[in-house]
Amino acid sequence: MASTPMTLTDFSAFLKRLYPDKAPENVASRNRVWLTMVPKAEDFYGFESGGTMAIPLQYANPGGRSATAANVYTALGDQVTAGKYARFLLTRSSEFAGVQLGSEVLHASKRDAGAFAAARKSEVDGMLDELGHALSLNLYGDGTGVRGTCSTLSVNLVTFTVADDAKNFRVGMTVESGPNADGSSLNAGNTTVTNVDEDNGQITLASAAAMTGFGANDFLFEKGDSGNIKMMGLAGWIPLTAPSATTFFGLDRSVDTTRLGGVRVDNTSASIEDNIMTVAERVFRVGGKPDCVFLNPVNFTTLSKSYSAKIDFEGGGGSATIGFETIKVATSAGIVKVYPDPDCPTNRGYVLTKKTWKFHHMLGAPHIVEDDGLMAVRIDGKDAIMVRGRCYGNLACTAPAHNGVFSV
């Protein structure tokens, strides 16, 4: 009996079986702890106020208290003031990805669907994983999209200021560069990454000279990411440097840098454990009760070794596990759980109150595009189809003061 060719409709149905509801999110979130744990809400719809979502908060109580009645109870009571309220006007940002599949697959026999499934699932999983990596980096970032800062350039070999940033690149990635983190005054041209050396914090470019003027202290972006268009992450919501009067989602945070911009401790001479306790204490002083901490695995291991040295084991026999999946640290605010996350920067630690955060999005974070009812589309001029991935959304915080950052 003759085999039946696979059509785009058949292929779309096949993809829906492989990727039912929430499966793309699960693929994109694997091994990305903050992306997995952050509360999410599929509620970022509408175009009111330019497509923004209001995130309201109160950062000061009404002033109506005094030991002297006249200061409060009379018509001229000068201590009666209204509470202070504000709102962030959250905007949607976007992430896109796609994978091209040769049209030969459309004519594969349905009897070979098992082998076909393995090959195609690998490609689509890879696309979703790339989206997940971008989203995870975003959730720790400041919206600029910077992937790394060049410390030195030797012909085409880039050494990064922060060695761990090499992991943010992959072979084949197209990159562009510029002297400013906000993406202004970009160097002309772009090039691709040909080699990644995470051990030494380096990448090799196909042609560094293709980016006119590129050199030490320049920032590297994946092509299309520059210009402060990325989703906002922890580095933006609770920066290590107190926020200035420059508006952040429409709000001047300099009027109360802690309650509108979080707690910060910049003391690299202190141990990680001490910094966690100090940030938690300061959060507690302003009414917060943090419950989780995120560290890069390198710093988590340092903390783990420090804790291991302090553990007393009683009795003999049995079995033992060396190390920790999470570490519990006792602070004045209570017990906080410490988690390792590969996408957390090596020079930062974050002490958070999880319930104050939410990743607002549309359709899934991320999701496979099927706007026309199909999960794959033909590519004009090529014997191929494309499966596309996408995410619309942004991270919001309802109580910045209940969260903090420290330097490592």
* Structure-block tokens of residue 84: 């202070």
Residue 128 has pLDDT above 60, yes or no: yes
pLDDT digits 0-9 by tens, 296-331: 999 999 998 887 656 554 555 554 455 558 889 999
The C-alpha atoms of residue 52 and residue 281 are separated, in whole angstroms, by 34
The C-alpha atoms of residue 347 and residue 150 are separated, in whole angstroms, by 16
The C-alpha atoms of residue 385 and residue 100 are separated, in whole angstroms, by 6
Q: Is the dihedral of CA 259, 260, 263, 266 positive or negative?
A: negative
Q: Where are the domains of the chain?
A: 146-222, 234-310+323-357+398-407
* Structure-block tokens of residue 172: 């084949």
| Percentage, residues of the chain above pLDDT 90 | 62
Which option is the CATH number for 146-222: 2.40.30, 2.40.50, 3.30.70, 1.10.3470?
2.40.30
Q: Give the model's pLDDT for residue 378.
A: 83
Q: Specify the higher pLDDT residue, 101 or 396.
A: 396
Q: Give the model's pLDDT for residue 6.
A: 47
Residue 1 has pLDDT above 50, yes or no: no
* Structure-block tokens of residue 361: 């999005």
CA atoms within 13 A on the CB side of 15: 27
Poorest-pLDDT segment among 45-54, 82-91, 145-154, 209-218: 45-54
* Structure-block tokens of residue 152: 């030195």
CATH 3.30.2320 is held by the domain 234-310+323-357+398-407: yes
Q: Which residues, other chains included, contact 373 with Cβ-Cβ below 8 Å and sequence gap of 6+? A: 12
Taking alpha carbons only, the member of 37, 84, 82 closest to residue 56 is 84
Poorest-pLDDT segment among 99-108, 141-150, 198-207, 374-383: 99-108
* Residue 103: strand, helix, or coil: helix
